[in-house]
Amino acid sequence: MYLALPAIAAKAAEAQFNAARLGTVYGFAYLRGFLHALYDKSQDGADMYSKWLSRVDSEFDAALKSRNFASILSDYVDSMIDLRRMFRDAGYPVDYMDRAFDAYVHNMMVFSNIPGRFNLTPSDVVLTNGKTRLLHYRVDGQKKGAPLLVIYAPINRYHILDIEPEKSVVRRLASGGLDTYLLDWGHPGPGDDSLSLKDYVGYVEAAVDFIKKSGAEKVSILGYCWGGIMALIYSALHADSVNRLALMAVPVDTSQDDTILAHWARALDSDRIAEEFGHMDGQMLDLGFILRNPPRFAFDKYVRFFEKMHDRGFVDTFTAVERWLYNTPPIPGNLYRDIINGCYKRNALFKGEMALDGMKVDLSKIDVPVLAIAAEHDDLASPASTLAVLGAVSSKDKDSMRMPGGHVGLCVSASAHKSLWPQVARWLSS
């Protein structure tokens, strides 16, 4: 152990240097934003804070998408992985500390999601498969169209689709006459690190097979974000079981995904991350979301919150979304690696070059009605990337819907629930 200390110290110094390089990029973005705002005469009616915030948005967008930043970020992550391995090889109990931390985070997440914490739409757990649960919503009304399976992303929890009664996507769909089911991925633990994209598509297959036992010949599917990737793969392999396919903010053609996180995903070595940690830690994902634009995501939203504290509806939605936002389970290492490498780095899903368990995933095999739903200001899945699916499938009946706002706004904004979701329910019921 003691013989390794000089090497560990040198690697720690390297990691610290790379951290300083990252900090420099952020620091200069802040400074340039301030200087531009100070001398900006085009927004004379705006206060200094608003002008600075507007300018710093563009500064971060340019700086954090640059090749230079991607290189620095990759160097930093690699040096931290090297440092962790050196500590473990020297006999430090890093794996034990990781397990203890993961257990603590897991217990806190479970506690934060007891039923009373969220005013969820009533549902029954009709199928369990590992950590995955299939929920069937109890909403009265005449059922129209094929049963609907909602596939949420394995990032955060499904509660954003059921955030509160007046802004609940699943309640809106079920109330629209759809016999609605949802896949809850649960909280993967250390024993689930080996789960891959194949396993998650297998969970989708098991859910569809279960729903079809109720007498339905086919099932409609709504996939959100990475859940849409699984919906696409399943539909390509089992198009005869799908009635209609709706894809909401899904990164399909990642060559057209110009978001900051897409740039970072392509820059980092997902194989090393999965091999060293076994999973992508949820708290690291939370930090990554904030680092896309710290003024916006770690400061300004709380300024806006205090400005609207008199609005009870706004406060209730804000606190519910915050509770959901920072409840991020880990992503199993193999699943993380499959999606990053297969979708973001090789764009294999869109190109028709992905294989799952020896079967080629060809999106042109999808000939059922397809709907692509995009948010115009989505900073997690570029609209062009989502809408590209319409050119990849063979469907004759295909349509798109676009809404103002961002990725999460599709689920929780008043405008989405007023205009978008009634339209989606009618489309799915056709």
Alpha-carbon span 112 to 107, nearest angstrom: 9
Catalytic residue among 159, 187, 407, 417: 407
Alpha-carbon span 242 to 264, nearest angstrom: 34
Q: Write the DSSP string, 273-337.
A: HHHHHSEE-HHHHHHHHHHT-HHIIIIIHHHHHHHTTT-HHHHHHHHHHHHHHT--PPEEHHHHH
Catalytic residue among 179, 184, 225, 338: 225
Alpha-carbon span 409 to 386, nearest angstrom: 16
Q: Do residues 317 and 163 lie in contact, with contact meaning Cβ atoms separated by under 8 Å?
A: yes
CA gyration radius for the chain?
A: 22
CB burial of residue 45 (10 Å; 0-12, 13-18, 19+): exposed
Alpha-carbon span 12 to 397, nearest angstrom: 57
Q: Do residues 368 and 395 lie in contact, with contact meaning Cβ atoms separated by under 8 Å?
A: yes
Alpha-carbon span 195 to 47, nearest angstrom: 50
Q: Do residues 150 and 170 lie in contact, with contact meaning Cβ atoms separated by under 8 Å?
A: yes
Alpha-carbon span 246 to 71, nearest angstrom: 36
Catalytic residue among 184, 281, 378, 379: 378
> Which token pair is 79?
């040096």
Provide the phi-psi class of 414: left if phi over 0, else alpha when psi is between -120 and 50, else beta. Answer: alpha
Alpha-carbon span 48 to 63, nearest angstrom: 22
Q: Closest Cα to residue 292, out of 74, 77, 62, 75? A: 62
Q: What are phi and psi of 218, to 5 degrees?
A: -140, 165
Q: Which residues contact 185 (CB under 8 A, 6 or more apart)?
A: 131, 132, 152, 154, 158, 200, 203, 329
Q: Closest Cα to residue 250, out of 262, 236, 265? A: 262
Alpha-carbon span 70 to 265, nearest angstrom: 9
Alpha-carbon span 228 to 222, nearest angstrom: 7
44 is catalytic: no
Strand partners, 183: 134, 151
378 is catalytic: yes
Give the catalytic positions in this structure. Answer: 225, 378, 407
